[in-house]
Amino acid sequence: MKVLVADKISPKGVAFLRTQPGLEVIEAYGSSPEKILELVKDVHAIAVRSETKITAAVFAAAPLLKVVGRAGVGVDNVDVDAATERGVIVMNTPSGNTVATAELTFTHILCGARPVPQAAASMKAGQWDRKSFSGIELFKKTLGIVGLGRIGGEVAKRAQAFGMRVLAYDPYLAPSRAKAMQIEGVSLDELLAQSDYITVHMPLTEDTHYMIDEAAFAKAKKGLRIFNCARGGIIKESALIAALKSGQVAAAGLDVFEEEPLAKDSELRTLPNVTLTPHLGASTAEAQDAVGVEVAEQIADVLLNGAVRNAVNLPSVDAATAKILGPYLDLGAKLGTLVQQLAPAAVAKLRITYFGKIVDLDANAITRSIQRGYLTRISGEGVNVVNAPIMLERLGLRSEIIKSSDDSDYTELILVEAVAADGSARSAAGTLITKANSPRIVAVNGREVEALAAGKLLIIENQDAPGMIGYVGTLLGKDKVNIANMSLSRQQAGETALMVINLDSEPSAAARAELKAHPAIKLAKFVQL
C-alpha cells in the first residue's frame, strides 16, 4: 500500500513508515496541486502538514485513499466533509505540540517581565544602557490563565515552579480539577482584577472571539502584562494597542495574530513594550519529531491493523458496526450539543442513560459521540470521538453511563443530563422514528416534547399565561423568522410551560434580547444543532 508524504514531516516519521512491511513511501514535497492529483491515483494514505491542500478534487482522484494524516492540530487544509463523504478517515496529532507551546508561552512571560529582546537589540546597536531595561520578578506575582486545557495546564506547572500564584478561568473546569492542580478557579472578571500576568489558551470560537477587549482591559490591574500563543482574535488587537499606549498594559507577547502573516505596517511592530514571534508555537525539533512520528504511527495503524486514533470525522468502530450505529451516533451528538448549550458552564457530571433495545448494542461509540457533541463548542477543532473522554476528564467532568431496564415508553431512548455540583440538571432525551431513522427530541428538562433534532431551535421556558404563544409567534414574524414546528409542554396550569420551536433561520440579537426581557419568560435559548 502506498503512502504519499506530501509535506516535509520529521525524517523519523518517514523512516518509521519505511520500516513497516507492506507499505511503500512516496516523498513529494512542494508538489503543485496538479502534481498531487496525478500522484494520488493509487495511494492509500496521505501525510501532510499545513502546506498541501487536500481538496474535494483530491479525494475524487484517489479511489484507493483510506486515510489522511495531519502532522499538527488544525485540519483547515483538508476538506473534512469531502473526506467523510468518500469514507476517508482524517486524523490529526493534537498533543504533539503541547510542551513546545507551553515553553514558548513562558518565554514570552519572562520577556514581558525582563525586557531581554529590547536589551539585546540595544547591545547589538553598540549601547550599554542599564537604566532603560529594568524589569520585575515573577516570584509571588499572580498569573491568570484563561483556558486550562493541555497547554494551560503545562504553563501552570511552570508558573508554580517560579513561585507564582496561579488563577484560572475556564467555564468548563470542575472545582475538583482546579483543587488537584493547586490552582484557584475564578470568574473572568476576578482573574482580570487580580492578575499581574495573563495568558490565554482557549480555542477561537464565537464565545472567545475578542474575549479580551476594551472592557476587559478596563477591569484589569494597571500595568498588566498579557500574552497570547493560542489563537489570534481572542485578544482584540486594537484594544491591546490602545492599552499599551496608555500604560494600562505594561507589556505584551504575541505569537498569533488576527491576520497572519502580520501586516508590515501593523502598529504592533512599532511598540517598544511588545515581543512578537511569527507563530512559532510548535516550531521545535522535538515537537516536529513528535507530530511526525505520531502521524506516521497512526497511518500505519489504520492501514495495517484497522485501528483508528485521533480521527476527526469518524467513530473508532469497524465499518459494519458503524453502519448500524450511524443514526444513533448522529442523535447522540445532537443531544450532547443541545444539553451543553442548555447547561450552565460549570458542570460536575455528564450522565447518559440508555433505555430499550439500544441497551443491547455496544454503546461506547454512541457515548463518545455524545461526549464529542457536548465538547464541540467548548474545545474547538481538537475534539473528536477518540479524545473526547480524556478532554472531559481534563475538565474534571465525570461521565456516568447507565443502561436502564425501566420502561421509557419508547422502543429505544437516550437521555443526556448535565448535572451540576448541587445535583441540579439540564437534560434532553431523544429517540429515532423507526421508519426513517429520523432523530427526534422527545423531552427537554424533564418535560415531554416532540421536535426534529436538526437545524435551529428556540427553547423557551415561561410562566404559563394566556397570550404567550401569540407573543412569541408575533415577535418572530416581525423578525422575518419562520416557524417550522412548535411543540408545547406544561406540568400544571399556571406554572412553568415549555416551548421547543424549530426555526428556518436564526433570530436577530434584538429579537432574542426582547424575548429574554419579557417578565414571563424565564429562559429563551437559541440552539444550533
* Residue 488 placed within a domain: yes
| Residue 231 bears catalytic tag | yes
Single residue among 453, 478, 513 that ends a domain in this structure: 453
- Decide if 241 contacts 267 (C-beta within 8 A): yes
| Residue 294 bears catalytic tag | no
User: Which cell numbers in the block locate residue 464?
Assistant: 404559563
Q: What is the pLDDT of residues 475-486, one digit of tens each?
A: 999 999 999 999
Judged against a pLDDT cut of 60, whether residue 2 lies above it is answered with yes
pLDDT at 315: 55
Q: Which domain holds residue 199?
A: 98-276
* Residue 424 placed within a domain: yes
| Residue 260 bears catalytic tag | yes
**Sheet (strand 274-276) strand order:** 184-185, 165-169, 142-146, 197-200, 224-228, 249-254, 274-276
Closest CA to 185 of 344, 346, 397: 346
pLDDT at 382: 58
Catalytic residue (choose from 86, 165, 209, 279): 279
Peptide bond into 261 cis (omega under 30): yes
**Sheet (strand 412-419) strand order:** 398-404, 349-356, 412-419, 425-433, 438-444, 447-452
* Residue 281 placed within a domain: no
pLDDT at 171: 86
Q: State whether 126 and 239 are in the same domain.
A: yes
CATH label of the domain that carries residue 160:
3.40.50.720
Catalytic residue (choose from 225, 231, 372, 426): 231
Mean pLDDT (the chain, rounded): 91
* Residue 232 placed within a domain: yes
Task: Name beta bridge partners: 500.
Answer: 459, 487
Q: State whether 240 and 122 are in the same domain.
A: yes
Q: State whether 239 and 324 are in the same domain.
A: no
- What's the whole-model pTM score? 0.67
pLDDT at 147: 94
- Residue 386's pLDDT band (boundaries 50, 70, 90)? low
* β-strands 425-433, 412-419 pairing: antiparallel
- Decide if 504 contacts 456 (C-beta within 8 A): yes
Backbone φ and ψ of 103, nearest 5°: -70, -40
Helix (H, G, I), strand (E, B) or coil at 7: coil
pLDDT at 436: 66
Backbone φ and ψ of 328, nearest 5°: -70, -35
* Residue 234 placed within a domain: yes
* Residue 27 placed within a domain: yes
Q: In total, how many domains does the chain have?
A: 4
Q: State whether 422 and 481 are in the same domain.
A: no
Mean pLDDT computed over 329-352:
91
Judged against a pLDDT cut of 60, whether residue 264 lies above it is answered with yes
* β-strands 349-356, 412-419 pairing: antiparallel
Q: State whether 132 and 159 are in the same domain.
A: yes
Q: State whether 225 and 362 are in the same domain.
A: no
Single residue among 428, 453, 478 that ends a domain in this structure: 453
Mean pLDDT computed over 277-303:
93
Q: State whether 483 and 430 are in the same domain.
A: no
Beta strands in 135-188 (DSSP E): 142-146, 165-169, 184-185
Give the integer Cα–Cα distance in Å for 237 and 527.
30
- Decide if 89 contacts 68 (C-beta within 8 A): yes
- Residue 319's pLDDT band (boundaries 50, 70, 90)? very low
Pick from 62-66, 127-131, 157-161, 451-455: least confident: 451-455
Q: State whether 137 and 272 are in the same domain.
A: yes
* Residue 50 placed within a domain: yes
Closest CA to 236 of 117, 149, 244, 509: 244
Q: State whether 200 and 182 are in the same domain.
A: yes
Report how far Cα 134 is from the mean position of its chain's Cα atoms.
39
Q: State whether 115 and 42 are in the same domain.
A: no
CATH label of the domain that carries residue 508:
3.30.70.260
CATH label of the domain that carries residue 336:
3.30.1330.90
Q: State whether 445 and 354 are in the same domain.
A: yes
In angstroms, how far is the first alpha carbon of the chain from the final one? 39
Catalytic residue (choose from 260, 269, 393, 400): 260
Which of 116-120, 303-307, 310-314 reaches the highest mean pLDDT? 116-120
* Residue 416 placed within a domain: yes
Q: Give me the percent of the chain exceeding a pLDDT of 90.
A: 67
Which residues fall within 8 angstroms of residue 264, CB to CB, at 6 or more apart? none
How many other CB atoms are there within 10 angstroms of residue 261's CB atom?
9
Q: State whether 235 and 320 are in the same domain.
A: no
